[in-house]
Amino acid sequence: QVDREATAGQAHFHGLLVDVNAPMDLQEFALSMVVDEQHHTALAIDAARALGASGELSFDLCELQVRRQAEPAEELLDLLVGMFVVSEVVALDLLVHTTKVLPDSTFRDVLRKIAKDEVLHARFGHLVLSTLRGDERWLPYPGDDAVVALAKAHTARMRTRAVVSESESELSDDGDFRVELEALGVPPPHGFRAAYVRGLDESVPAALAAAGIDRRIAE
């Protein structure tokens, strides 16, 4: 599955960095992450072609557009926490889990290539937050409580997602289908779901702690 939202979100984040006149090294790294997501999309398309898909993608323009809010600084902080302290951190956990449990295949190799890029993406959020808590002044820092509140809101929304479809779970319950799915790069659903929850419960708080914010985000 190609995550069209990832590339659009990364591009939107870069645009917000430009709006607030963020340091050029951050702007350049944000652009490199856009390129990473485009590369991931290309890898996913190649994998889909190997399974018989046409490899052609078409989306409504509205699906790829992200509307800007009135205050770019507030929106940037929300995106920084939601995308890089929460989503990218959990995404890396899922990739690491998946590559560990799958058998050798070209599909697992694709996931490993993507995971290498995601290591940096998953560190970006807490590294930027730690600078904002220090002497950086390009983006107003609202305080640790506000950042924790954002993290809580984003993790709460992610907990409501159906991480694995019912049809996939049903197929995986059949031993023969499960072997076929794993050969195609699809991990067992129960372990995948557990890795997702563990990422929210453990890895996201660890990312905040790495930025110097040692607070509970789960009630």
Q: How do residues 53-97 score in pLDDT, each as one tens digit?
A: 655 555 454 444 556 666 899 999 999 999 999 999 999 999 999
Q: Which two tokens stand for residue 89?
A: 């951190």
Are 215 and 144 in contact by the 8 Å Cβ rule? The answer is yes
Phi, psi dihedrals of residue 68, rounded to the nearest 5°: -80, 145
Angle at 118 between CA 80 and CA 170, to 5 degrees: 100
Residue holding tokens 């996913």? 44
Asked whether 106 and 146 are in contact (CB, 8 A), the reply is no
% of the chain with per-residue pLDDT over 70: 87
> What is the predicted pLDDT for the residue at 201?
95
**What's the whole-model pTM score?**
0.86
CA nearest to 128, candidates 139, 115, 119 = 139
pLDDT tens digits, 103-143? 999 889 999 999 998 999 999 999 999 999 987 789 999 99
- Return the pLDDT at 5: 63
Q: What is the pLDDT of residue 123?
A: 96
Q: Which of 67-81, 171-185, 196-210 has the lowest mean pLDDT?
A: 171-185
- Nearest Cα to Cα of residue 185 among 114, 117, 123: 114
Q: What is the DSSP letter of 103?
A: P
